[in-house]
Amino acid sequence: MIEASIRSEKLGGTFTFPGTELNVNRLGYGAMQLAGRDGSKVVWGEPKDVPGALAVLREAVEAGVDHIDTSDFYGPHVTNQIIKQALHPYPENLVIVTKVGAKRGPNAEWPHARTAQDVTDAVHDNLRNLGMDVIDVVNLRLGGFSGPEDEPFEEPLTALVELRQQGKIKHIGMSTVSAEQVAEAQKITPIVCVQNFYNVAQRGDDAFVDALAAQGIAYVPYFPLGGFSPLQSGKLDEIAAGLGATPIQVALAWLLHRSPNMLLIPGTSSVGHLRENLKAAELKLSAETLAELDSII
């Protein structure tokens, strides 16, 4: 128990998804980068170094990471199969969160997949490739690549509710959505987390983060390090140098400071970068430093 407490402190403390038994360390792991790349086709096919990908997952869990974010359209299927190969049978405390609502086309495009049948098929694909009987949380992915869009979602969300009733999933979240869409979704089902594009330089969701925190709902920023366009800021570099840290560590530490409902899922295919990311939770930011970081936007 003492060892687990120390690990949690080193990983940003803990958070319990609302209305659930799921308690996780706030610094988790995003599995998207475990898939390969084929020229301009990103998150596509197997990685060049499969043993390296397995090592990253195993080290993450050994370090205390108990929240892994994934999707079966990463690869497609590849990332989930690697997770299964590395970690199955899964530790009892490991929370795996996946998402549905998109798929991969033959040229690695990301078309919508939001009919009831699409969602049902996607959940079953995740179950099969992860080797699970029930998934902890499934996020309904809406919107465009980096922002929400005004679109109907009752059909796919209702399909997720039915899958929960069938015992295939435990809880439901949403991704790339607005505050208004979450409010509408809550008329249909409880929402335990929201996963949107957000980082120290992309802060359009500031008010949304605070509103979700007031409800105890997790906010999970995707692309916390900028995604396919890494964060680049002279101010961020300057602050990091002054703290003896890397810009990535400062960006992650800022997110942990931002709000207690913030859960991080930085991704990497490198053990070295994984270790660097995990150390971010131990970085203390003064009020002066936080004010400097606020000036980046």
List, for residues 27-52, the tens digit of each pLDDT value: 999 999 999 999 899 999 999 999 99
Is residue 2's pLDDT more than 60?
A: no
List, for residues 166-190, the tens digit of each pLDDT value: 999 999 999 999 999 999 999 999 9
- H helix and E strand count, the chain: 11, 11
**Residue 145, number of CB atoms within 10 A of its CB:** 10
Is residue 228's pLDDT more than 60?
A: no
Over residues 209-237, the mean pLDDT reads 84
Which pLDDT score is estimated for 297? 67
- For the annotated catalytic residues, the residue numbers are 74
Cβ atoms 108, 41 nearer than 8 A? yes
Query: What domains can be seen in the chain, in order of their start residue?
Result: 2-294 (3.20.20.100)
Strand partners for 172: 138
Which pLDDT score is estimated for 295? 83
pLDDT band with cut points at 50, 70 and 90 for residue 78 = very high
CA-based radius of gyration for the chain: 18
First and final C-alpha spacing in the chain: 41
Strand partners for 18: none
List, for residues 113-125, the tens digit of each pLDDT value: 999 999 999 999 9
Please give the share of the chain, as a percent, with pLDDT higher than 90: 87
